[in-house]
A and B are shown apart, each in its own frame.
Chain A
Amino acid sequence: MRRLWFVCWVLLAAMPARGAETYSFDATEFQKKPYELNGYVEFRYDRFRLNNSGAQYQLNNYLAPRVNLERTTALFKPSGKMRSGDFTLNARAHVEFQHDTVDSARTGRFDELYASYKPQPGFTLDAGKTALKWGKGYAWNPVGFVERLKDPNDPELAREGFTALSADFIRNFDGLLQTVAFTPVLLPARSHLNGDFGQPGHNNVAAKLYLLYRDTDIDFMFLSKGSRTRRVGVDFSRNVTSNLEVHGEWARVEDVQRRVTDAAGNVTASVANAHSYLLGVRYLTEREATLIAEYYRNGGGYGDSELRGFYQLADSAYRQFLATGVTAPLQRTQNLSQSGYGRPNAGRNYFYLRASQKEPFDILYFTPSVTLIANLNDRSVSVAPEMLYTGITNVELRLRTFFLSGSNYTEFGEKQNRRRLELMVRLYF
């Protein structure tokens, strides 16, 4: 018995006391490897409450009306690297399975697949499919000349790139001008290569010049006339105080073609230069709430009366279909939708606000937030409260709802859905 007590005493003495825990760390296992594979798997459930009186609903669902739509999505996003000397092969794939009340779909593609040559930190050459991201705006990027459109509801989502040859030259200096970086891009467009960039048969040239001047980020960009019309732009970003950042973008797009319809279906085509700009702030409060606010002027967008004309046309085409069964007016309206009216945020003046609170009530890794997108011309809005939890290692949980509101013939009043519930689980590996 005495021996047992002694063993217990030795074991207890050997146990580290709570609060005096010791830690150790050896970084050997984190040395760079020639191969790397990581990424995530995402499962999402969406439930849409459809807007039966909305133009977008009527155009897309007139043959099979319904009240709700449920969608489940499984997404696999692996990314990998292979290194050899100064060369790296980078790949990021997108494999998606989607099933909803109406249909099922499968998508498989490389979002990025490119080789990099990096002989020194001041020079990089990339060749292949790569996603270039230009601009300082959070929700919109009018200067994003060589990238796919950003979804303001998911601005941080990875997007598919274009196949291009690009380089990056960086030089640093002492003084007020601290950094100069130049990024030229050659983006060929053929029917089988970058077919959705614009008109095929052009070798498009774009470039970005970055300066860090007086603690301010400044970029100048341009895209030559080719598959798309010529465009130039500038952006900036600066920390005004330790908790306030301001940013802005301005872009001039030449020869923008616009097709505008009135309520009777009379279409007017015009070509003009469009100037778009964005002004925004990011502010961190003392209670660690982050506010992002942006005003966006979409120079090529539709004004209040122009949008109203389109929605009235869709409404009358739908009524005609209900009365006679004739689908031709609806199909004509659908064509107009695809030529511009159906773009996300097709209006002219927008306001974006995102407020997120870091870890309220001492709940670590929990971030509730709310996002508002308003069309300032017709005063319709989308409000999306969200809860994000990242407390489980390599797991991200998000619950989000969207509430769209606006009167008849307004942008968010005429969207396909009135409400949306989204549940997302993301597992990283």
Chain B
Amino acid sequence: MKSMLTRLLACAVLLFIGGWTHAADGNEILKRVDRNLEPESYEMFRKLINIEPDGTKKEFVLYSVKKGRDKIVALFLAPPSDKGRATLRLGDNMWLYIPNVGKPVRITSLQSVIGGVFNNADILRIDYTAEYNAEGVTEEKDAHVLALKARTGEVAYDRLKMWVDRKLILPVKIEAYAASGMLIKTLHFKDIQDFGGGIRRPATVETDSPLYKGYKSVMLYSQLKKRELPDEVFTLNYLPRVEDLRK
């Protein structure tokens, strides 16, 4: 009986260590995914295209700067109806500045300032490691599949399932789930390009959602490069002046 108990205990310890190692590996992969996608501090331009089932498109162009793991600001450059809008994210805090309103107001990560499939959390994405913890890794032929769980209840998607290219350590596909287990959206990473400065990553992210059947959103990246900025840029008072950062 005693040896039986000892064996069971040993199995439990091994399983625990195995699980912990897996999670640790997962977080290590996730950390590499973050840095392969973007430098920790950068500037970039993005075009967001919302495509309706009949093919009608609406496009937005954003300029973004990020610092550290959880500070990011995005400025709308087009279309003219949205030009000058700016959004700021500091960890779980988000604000929106609309030129007509003239002052920033707090918004939530699940809202969408542009409508369509993308929400604020997609536009103001911070490092995956800042928001998610890897609970496990399974292996497929060409990919690691990470099971990610949100670190807090403030995060837009409770769980992510991320397929990571085994050679490039870049995401290929991400499924985003609500706390209820419902699939909210799927992101497909495509078109790997060299952005210079050692940055080689997908230049296109296509998103579809079972909540918006037939609709699709596409995010295109351009001029992504490393840039260091002072902390004062990532403040409420600076939000109306973000466009000054563009060179």
Contacts and interface: CB of A to CB of B under 8 A. Distances in A.
B100 A358 contact: no
Contact of B83 (A38, A88, A124, A242): A38
A103 interface: no
B79 A179 contact: no
Given A32-B243, A242-B156, A429-B80, A121 B229 contact: yes
A23 B49 contact: yes
Contacts of A134: 103
Contact of B78 (A30, A120, A124): A30
Nearest to A33: B246
B91 A243 contact: no
B137 interface: no
A358 B112 contact: yes
Interface string B26-57: 00000000000000000001110110100010
A172 B237 contact: no
A369 B4 CA distance: 67
Interface of A: 22-27, 30-32, 38, 40, 79, 88, 116, 118, 120-122, 124, 131-136, 138, 155-159, 168, 170-172, 178-179, 181, 183, 210, 212, 215, 217, 237-239, 241-245, 247, 282, 284, 288, 290, 358-359, 362, 364-365, 390-391, 393-396, 428-429
Contacts of B106: 217, 237-239, 245, 247, 282
Contacts of A171: 232
B69 to A, nearest CB: 14
Contacts of B115: 358-359, 364-365, 390
Contacts of A358: 111-112, 115
Given A282-B106, A364-B115, A170 B100 contact: no
Given A179-B235, A239-B93, A242-B110, 7 more contacts: A23-B220, A40-B80, A170-B237, A245-B106, A393-B58, A394-B80, A428-B83
Residue of B77, B79, B223, B231 with highest tally of chain A CB at under 10 A: B231
Interface string B182-218: 0000000001000000000001100000001101001
A124 B221 contact: no
B238 A394 contact: no
Given A32-B247, A171-B232, A284-B111, A428 B98 contact: no
Contacts of A32: 243, 246-247
Majority secondary structure, B binding face: loop
B212 A362 contact: yes
Contact of A133 (B91, B103, B110): B103
5 contacts: A121-B229, A212-B93, A282-B106, A391-B56, A428-B81
Interface in B58-90: 58-59, 61, 63, 77-81, 83-84, 90
Given A25-B222, A32-B247, A156-B100, A215 B92 contact: yes
B237 A38 contact: no
Interface in B227-247: 229-238, 241, 243-244, 246-247
B129 interface: no
Interface of B: 45-47, 49-50, 52, 56, 58-59, 61, 63, 77-81, 83-84, 90-94, 98-103, 105-106, 108-112, 115-116, 153-156, 191, 203-204, 212-213, 215, 218, 220-223, 229-238, 241, 243-244, 246-247
A38 B80 CA distance: 7
Contact of B231 (A172, A290, A364, A393): A172
Contacts of A284: 108, 110-111
A362 B78 CA distance: 24
Q: Which 8 A-B pairs have the closest CB atoms?
A: A27-B45, A172-B231, A25-B220, A27-B222, A428-B81, A133-B103, A133-B102, A32-B246
A393 to B, nearest CB: 5
A241 B101 contact: no
A184 B109 CA distance: 32
